[in-house]
């Protein structure tokens, strides 16, 4: 494996590990605050731990769903849940800070400090999902092309994936189009440029025969 590829995988792995760690700390801080708020609000101590799991767990699940449904019409629903869960978590954390903070600490300051963990949880969860998705897409659709300045014949240029995979991409693009995906979203999902997706659909409409795309057409 080339050193640049190893370096890229290491950078992505480090970023994923860092965002997961940050998300875990943010979840822990929010969890303790919301658990205490639930107990103060009359929830039994043995059940108070479930309330922050419901609230902050919704943020995590909705974030993953938003990324998974990117570009589809159904994405509005997870977006709605994400905004609702984040609003409840931020408000509840702020209220707990106002109730539990020392008397000499301004309420606004306490609320602002308490609002950080749920917002960081939202951002780090979304970043983690995006990194994982991009990493997997890069591995599945890896394209290795030698430097054009060093290549002297067409045989010296190695392109992956092969023709069957390109045909599979066109079939997948057709299925995603039926589901309501835009050309841009399809191109991002399949790792190609949007103009290539447009040509696929144009050929299908005209009944033109398929041909193998060049490296520039397939490269994202």
Could you tell me the end-to-end alpha-carbon distance of the chain, in angstroms, rounded to an integer?
21
**pLDDT, position 138:** 65
pTM score: 0.53
Tens digit of each residue's pLDDT, the chain (220 residues): 555 556 667 777 787 788 788 888 888 989 999 999 999 998 998 899 999 999 989 988 988 888 788 778 888 898 899 899 889 999 999 999 988 888 888 889 988 999 898 888 888 877 877 777 776 666 655 544 444 444 444 444 444 444 456 667 888 888 888 888 888 888 888 888 888 888 888 866 655 454 545 554 555 4
- 168-177 residues labelled b (16+ CB within 10 A) or e (exposed): ebbeebeebb
Residues with Cβ < 8 Å from 49, sequence gap 6 or more?
Answer: 31, 35
Task: Give 146's DSSP letter.
Answer: -
Residues with Cβ < 8 Å from 3, sequence gap 6 or more?
Answer: none
CA 102 to each of CA 29, 42, 133, 137, 149: distance values in angstroms, whole numbers, following the listed order: 18, 22, 43, 49, 67
Asked if 219 and 161 touch (Cβ cutoff 8 Å), the reply is no
> How far from chain centre, in Å, is Cα 217?
25
Query: Which long-range CB contacts under 8 A does 208-217 form with residues at least 24 apart?
Result: 210/167, 210/170, 212/163, 212/166, 213/166, 215/143, 215/145, 215/157, 215/159, 217/192, 217/193
**pLDDT, position 151:** 43
**pLDDT, position 146:** 41
């Amino acid at each position: 494996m080339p050193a640049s590829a190893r370096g890229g995988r290491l950078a992505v792995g480090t970023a994923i590990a860092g965002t997961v760690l940050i998300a875990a700390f943010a979840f822990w801080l929010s969890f303790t605050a919301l658990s205490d708020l639930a107990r103060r609000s009359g929830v039994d101590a043995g059940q108070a731990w479930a309330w922050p799991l419901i609230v902050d767990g919704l943020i995590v699940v909705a974030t993953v769903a938003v990324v998974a449904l990117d570009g589809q019409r159904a994405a509005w629903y997870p977006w709605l849940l994400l905004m609702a869960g984040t609003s409840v978590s931020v408000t509840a954390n702020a209220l707990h800070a106002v109730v539990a903070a020392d008397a000499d600490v301004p309420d606004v300051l306490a609320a602002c400090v308490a609002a950080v963990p749920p917002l960081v949880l939202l951002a780090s969860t979304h970043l983690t999902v995006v990194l994982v998705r991009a990493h997997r897409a890069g591995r599945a659709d890896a394209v290795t092309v030698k430097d054009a300045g060093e290549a002297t014949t067409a045989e010296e240029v190695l392109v992956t994936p092969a023709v069957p995979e390109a045909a599979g991409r066109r079939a997948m693009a057709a299925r995603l189009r039926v589901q309501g995906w835009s050309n841009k979203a399809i191109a991002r999902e399949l790792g190609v440029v949007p103009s290539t997706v447009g040509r696929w659909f144009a050929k299908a409409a005209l009944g033109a025969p398929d041909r193998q795309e060049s490296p520039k057409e397939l490269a994202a």
